[in-house]
Amino acid sequence: MIKVLFVCLGNICRSPTARGVFEARVRAAGLGHAIAADSAGTGDYHLGESPDTRAVRAARARGIEIGHYRARQVTPEDFRRHHLVLAMDRANHRALAHALAHLGPGIDGDAARARLRLFLEFAPGLGESVPDPYYGGPDGFERVLDLCEAASDGLIRHLAADGYPSAGGASG
């Protein structure tokens, strides 16, 4: 099983949306048995909360249900459990890279760093960051969905080309 973790700041807008879109496309590609996803936040502002109602509504309008997800904060263990840890923007990538510099014993820092990527690396030409929609209007949530759709397709192509389900390394 290949495991992918999406990470934003609050884990209530972008990363749950990415997880929902990605999971739907994985299922549509017939790869639900081979690829799993989760999401988390670098921040601890919304622990245990459902996704933002605007994100839930926007996803639902595209046939994707994310209302049952609950926010949690990323942990060092996440870098052992997941083959890819995908930051939704540059700021969160930086926060994760910084956290990796202070890993406790038992976690291989080089292996963890190799797993850390920007989600939009898989959507060439669309920039490097999924803009934070939290303080903006509905357009921001549509943009998040558009970017997640493009990057999810690119990521699925990448994982398939890499010869899933043996991407190697992550335990469990």
List interacting residues with ligand 4NP (CB under 6 A): 8-14, 45, 132, 134
Residue positions annotated with a catalytic role: 8, 14, 132
- CB nearer to ligand 4NP: give 72 or 117: 72
Enumerate residues 6+ apart whose C-beta is below 8 A from 47: 71, 72, 73
Candidates 53, 50, 93; CA nearest to 74 is: 93
User: What is the DSSP track for 93-120?
Assistant: HHHHHHHHTT--TTS-HHHHHHHEEEGG
Question: In the complex, which residue's CB is closest to ligand 4NP?
Answer: 10
Smallest gap from residue 38 Cβ to ligand 4NP (A): 14
Contact in structure between 113 and 97 (CB atoms under 8 Å): yes
Enumerate residues 6+ apart whose C-beta is below 8 A from 52: 12, 13, 134
- CB nearer to ligand 4NP: give 2 or 118: 118
- CB nearer to ligand 4NP: give 2 or 55: 55
- CB nearer to ligand 4NP: give 134 or 164: 134
Residue 8 in tokens: 């934003």
Dihedral sign (CA 130, 136, 139, 141): positive
- 4 forms beta bridges with 37, 84
